[in-house]
Every structure is written in structure tokens, then in C-alpha cells.
Amino acid sequence: TLHQERRKHEEKVQEKIEYYDGKVEEVLSDGRRILTFRDGTKKEISADQRMTTISFSNGDVKKIMPDQRVIYYYADAQTTHTAYPDGLEVLQFPNNQIEKHYPDGTQEIVFPDHTVKCLYNDGLKETFFPDGTVVKVEKNGDKIVVFSDGQREIHTAQFRRREYPDGTVKTVFCNGRQETKYSTGQVQIKDEEGNLILDKK
């Protein structure tokens, strides 16, 4: 079978050119051209010259597609980097993590557990968890967590606040003082030691 493969390969080669620098060019019967360089790198150009595949000696492979996408596979890292003509770049890692880098500076990371993290060029970070929870972190560090059950949590340098679907709002200030406003209109305030200092119904 090895002999048959070799013969089949030789039948396909219509022309073979050996250059003084050690490069070898083969023109195949289907119109493809294969250039083999002295370092082991192979460059294959499709018959219509719209697709080029470069196979490097370290196992890396670079493909230039007819639609101008450039796909580069890093063998050591088992990572694929695709660059699109519009500026979008996509990285696919062996653990199924996918990173998208948009021309406007936005980054989107899809983790193997389907968590999606978006980093915007204005400094905002948003993370979408598979359970429906969304976490937003502003450039100034303020954090808003929206839970799938409708609860919201707000973290700032001054306070932490939890908002419940029934309208109840609990706030803990940085000095330890606690304030709870119930949907009924009742307000409770506790000092930093947890002592009730106001209970207004």
C-alpha cells in the first residue's frame, strides 16, 4: 500500500522544480502547488489560488481562506486563532474555552461551563452564569448582581444592598449600620453592633 500511495502521489505530480536554496516546488495534476522548504515547512496553494495552507515543522498550521479568514493552529498549545477580515479575532482552546476579541476592544470569553464574560472598552465587566445570574462590575468597582430569582445585590465602597422581589431592601453600610425597608413600609435600623435603634411601621 505504501508503494501504491507513492505511485499515486507521483502520478499527481506534473512538474517538479528544485531551487538552488533547497526549496522544492511541485505542480499537481489537479492544479495545486506545493512548495517544500529546506526547514520542513510546506506551503500548499489551491488550484484557484484562493486558499493557502502552510504547515510548519513544529506542527503549527496556517490557513488563508478564500473569504480572507486567517486560521492559525498552534500545535503545542492545541489552540486555534481565527482572524476575520472585519477585525474580529477568535481563540479556541483545548478545554473548549472560546475568546472573541472585537475590533472595538470588547472581549467575550465563553468558558467550558457556558459562563460568558464580557469585557467592554469602557471598563464595564459583565458575567452571565448558566443559572441565569448576571454580575456587572463598573469601572469604579461598583458591582451589581442580578439573581435568577429576581433578587439584586449592589456592592459599592459605601454599602452593600440586597433588593428582594417583594420590594424589601436590606442595606449594610461600610460602618456596619444596617437598614431594612420592608415592602409594607416598615423601616428597621440597627447600629454597627446589631442593636435595633429604629423600628418605624
Taking residues 53-69, what's their average pLDDT?
A: 95
Does CATH number 3.30.465.10 belong to domain 10-88?
Answer: no
Residue 198 has pLDDT above 80, yes or no: no
User: Is the whole-model pTM more than 0.85?
Assistant: no
Residue 112 has pLDDT above 90, yes or no: yes
Which fold is adopted by the domain 95-156? lipopolysaccharide transport protein A fold (2.60.450)
pLDDT band at residue 111, thresholds of 50, 70 and 90? very high
Q: Where are the domains of the chain?
A: 10-88, 95-156, 158-200
Residue 7 has pLDDT above 70, yes or no: no
CB-based contacts of 167, cutoff 8 Å, min separation 6: 182, 183
Mean pLDDT of the chain: 91
30 to each of 15, 46, 62, 176, how far by Cα in Å?
12, 9, 22, 78
Grid coordinates given for 108: 467575550
Strands 107-110 and 98-101, bridge-based pairing: antiparallel
Do domains 10-88 and 95-156 share one topology? The answer is yes
**Residue 2 confidence (pLDDT):** 52
Percent of the chain clearing pLDDT 70 (strictly above): 95
